[in-house]
């Protein structure tokens, strides 16, 4: 398949639309999101990112082209910078010794499973929504908001709306499309499933933060 990403992006548009209309995002746009909810999200995202960077490094190790390996290792390093910047801004005095929520645990475990027991095509498809959905949501928020000068969450919003992130997203799409071009119909189906599941997990991640999800016991 020549442009696999275009195909799966269209197919998963309903999930993206659900994220755009989720109260976490609509309230983030107008600045009314509760600080407790946002901090819960940032804490969970800190845990998520520290696991996600390991998955990206594993993906890099699995790539056959030097260039692709370098891209994922750089992306993993880039995450360390994002983590430090965001967490210094928003978690100044907060301690990071909290446990992962059920959804955070589910998402990071799913990605780790894909990286360690599935094919390179599937794990590429599984990590891609982390790039593309954040880019789409970052751009969406920037285009919708009218309060860039006084939104308390602007630093977070700017991280994912910028040019550097856009380049990185384009490269991740191109690498995944290259693998999809040579994949069998069966492998493509598995890639679709992985991209769809990771997109749903992105939705659940916002949703679980909005509800400050806890372990039931």
39 CB neighbour count, 10 Å cutoff: 15
17-46 residues near ligand HMH, rule: CB under 6 A: 45
Query: Measuring CA to CA, which residue among 150, 48, 63, 151 is closest to residue 100?
Result: 48
**Secondary structure element (H or E) that encloses residue 29, with its range:** helix 23-30
C-alpha distance across the termini of the chain, in Å: 46
CB of 3 to ligand HMH, least distance (A): 22
Q: How far apart are CA 180 and CA 93, in angstroms?
A: 45
Q: How far apart are CA 49 and CA 46, in angstroms?
A: 5
CB of 130 to ligand HMH, least distance (A): 4
Residue 134 interacting with ligand HMH (CB under 6 A): yes
**For ligand HMH, the closer CB: 134 or 140:** 134
Residue 48 interacting with ligand HMH (CB under 6 A): yes
CB of 1 to ligand HMH, least distance (A): 25
Q: How far apart are CA 209 and CA 56, in angstroms?
A: 23
**For ligand HMH, the closer CB: 20 or 187:** 20
Residue 205 interacting with ligand HMH (CB under 6 A): yes
List of residues contacting ligand HMH (CB under 6 A)? 45, 48-49, 130, 134, 202, 205
């Amino acid at each position: 398949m020549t442009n696999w990403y275009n195909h799966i992006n269209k197919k998963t548009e309903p999930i993206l639309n659900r994220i755009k209309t989720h109260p976490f995002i609509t309230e983030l746009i107008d600045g009314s999101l509760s600080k407790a909810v946002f901090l819960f999200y940032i804490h969970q995202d800190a845990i998520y990112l520290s696991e996600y960077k390991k998955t990206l490094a594993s993906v890099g190790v699995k790539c056959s082209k030097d260039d692709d390996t370098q891209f994922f290792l750089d992306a993993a390093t880039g995450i360390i910078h994002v983590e430090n910047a965001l967490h210094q801004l928003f978690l100044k005095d907060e301690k990071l010794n909290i446990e992962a929520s059920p959804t955070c645990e589910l998402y990071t475990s799913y990605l780790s499973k894909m990286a360690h027991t599935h094919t390179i095509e599937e794990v590429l498809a599984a990590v891609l929504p982390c790039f593309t959905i954040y880019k789409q949501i970052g751009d969406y928020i920037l285009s919708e908001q009218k309060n860039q000068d006084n939104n308390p969450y602007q630093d977070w919003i700017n991280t994912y709306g910028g040019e550097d992130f856009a380049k990185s997203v384009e490269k991740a799409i191109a690498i995944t499309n290259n693998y999809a071009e040579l994949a069998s119909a069966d492998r493509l189906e598995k890639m679709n499933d992985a991209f769809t599941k990771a997109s749903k997990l992105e939705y659940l991640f916002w949703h679980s933060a909005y509800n400050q999800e806890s372990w039931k016991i």
